[in-house]
Chain A
């Protein structure tokens, strides 16, 4: 089971520039769904990639679903050559996204994010309007129910 506090703690204490999106962000905005992984968009600067590698290395990241024994190492070269990585770590599943569907890079999402205190850490989350935008951009049938809930959250929040 994913240890969200451990994952977030590694990233925050490693001073990684990241923004939480996906189901965990939906939870922070009021979703009643349960989510089993952490999705983050990370900054692609050389400095941030180095911080990301340093923060995640102790959690032994490995490609999720890849056969055991595959020569995979999450290092600076790997991150620079790739963009989005679905990982399993000793603290649970982590999706590292250089760009979310809909053009959601770290720089694009930064002005559309807000810092919230969660599990003892100051964590940056994408705002609700942008989360809906990203889900719509992804265009996955499985997201339709989630989008409906997020839009209902926005409607209910406007009433309060």
Chain B
């Protein structure tokens, strides 16, 4: 049970069975790779993925 201080509302940070269940599906290899990067590198990697997704979306929309 935890709170981060009087100025933030109390929130239980106890392990939640639902969150623990979701955790089993988290790809920790991706996390470990990201943790080797700097925050700047992590952000740039995410933006590159976003650009790629946008390109895919556009190509699906393109006529022909």
Contacts and interface: CB of A to CB of B under 8 A. Distances in A.
Nearest to B47: A4
B28 to A, nearest CB: 6
A125 B51 CA distance: 23
A33 B40 CA distance: 15
A147 interface: yes
Given A102-B8, A108-B7, A136-B12, A28 B50 contact: no
Contact of A34 (B13, B44, B53): B53
A35 B5 CA distance: 29
Contact of A30 (B20, B23, B42): B42
A108 B8 contact: yes
Nearest to B5: A108
A88 interface: no
B60 interface: no
Contact of A145 (B22, B35, B37, B49): B22
Given A103-B8, A137-B11, A144-B19, A156 B39 contact: no
B32 interface: yes
Nearest to A25: B39
A152 interface: yes
12 contacts: A1-B50, A1-B51, A24-B43, A103-B9, A104-B8, A116-B40, A118-B40, A130-B4, A133-B13, A148-B23, A152-B23, A152-B31
